[in-house]
Amino acid sequence: MNTSYLNINCKKSLRFSTRRASIGSFGKWILGVIMSRKHVMLIVFSGVFLGLALLLSSSLSLAQLVEQSSPSSGWDEGRQVTSNLTQSQSSLAAVPTTPGTTYKTFSGGAFSPTNSSLTYSAQGGAVYATALPPGGFSFSLELDLPQGAKITEVVFFVVDNDTASNMDLGLRSYNPETNSFSALETASSSGASTSLQTIVVPVDPPVQVDNTTTSYRLRVAPRVASSAHLLRGARIGYIVSQVYLPSVLK
């Protein structure tokens, strides 16, 4: 047999085997990379799903906690309720309006005491006195109204749960030059109940606003230093005269 022929065939076989081995190693490396990427993606997706499951569980627990909470245990502002009024009872009663009339509504918290010795506490948007000085001091609210406007309506929202005394309510004017007040309209609460009293005070004749000499204010005088006399708020209605409007608005 020819020795050269055998050597050539052996070299070819060796090269083919080496090439197959190289291809096999490269294929195994590719397969390993693919499998490792699959493992990484599997770990990532597992982490995402686990996070979503924990988030959903926390949301459900929070929703159950909110449902179990009493709706009357707190106010929207976060203040604790300190009387037997519930938040649903504390919404302002619907009062009819008059066409052509402009309205402003104020919370009890917008009122200020007329004496430093009259201390008070807030209950949601309402206020009540905690100490009353002698002399008939009150809660007062300064009105900011257009010149020439006519005040036609005043409404007070109060709770009077005292059997011995009533709350005094009114619309007043004040002249700083003479340091004098004028009672334009007055009213009072009545009875003894935890229910809201909506006290409509007609202003007849209407009061025309004269900002050149006079200021106007609402006055509420509680007679007991407790939440039995509770000021929830007030509303005024007024008509703006065309005569006093700027020319661009006429």
What predicted TM-score, i.e. pTM, was given to this entire model?
0.62
Asked whether residue 122 falls in the same domain as residue 232, the answer is: yes
Residue with the bigger pLDDT between 52 and 206: it is 206
Query: Is residue 74 one of the residues assigned to a domain?
Result: no
Query: Is residue 83 one of the residues assigned to a domain?
Result: no
The pLDDT value given to residue 157: 98
Asked whether residue 6 falls in the same domain as residue 105, the answer is: no
3-state secondary structure the chain: CCHHHHHHHHHHHHHHHHHHHHHHHHHHHHHHHHHHHHHHHHHHHHHHHHHHHHHHHHHHHHHHHHHHCCCCCECCCCCECCCCCCCHHHCCCCCCCCCCCEEEEEEHHHCEECCCCCEEEEECCEEEEEECCCCCCCEEEEECCCCCCEEEEEEEEEEECCCCCCCEEEEEEEECCCCEEEEEEEEECCCCCCCCEEEEEEEEEEEECCCCCCEEEEEEECCCCCCCEEEEEEEEEEECCHHHCCCCCC
CATH number, domain containing residue 194? 2.60.120.260
The pLDDT value given to residue 239: 98
Asked whether residue 44 falls in the same domain as residue 134, the answer is: no
Number of compact structural domains in the chain: 2
Asked whether residue 33 falls in the same domain as residue 97, the answer is: no
The pLDDT value given to residue 71: 39
pLDDT tens readout for residues 113-172: 999 999 999 999 999 999 999 887 999 999 999 999 999 999 999 999 999 999 999 999
- Number of C-beta neighbours around residue 148 at 10 A: 16
Tokens of 213: 């000499």
Q: Which domain holds residue 40?
A: 1-69
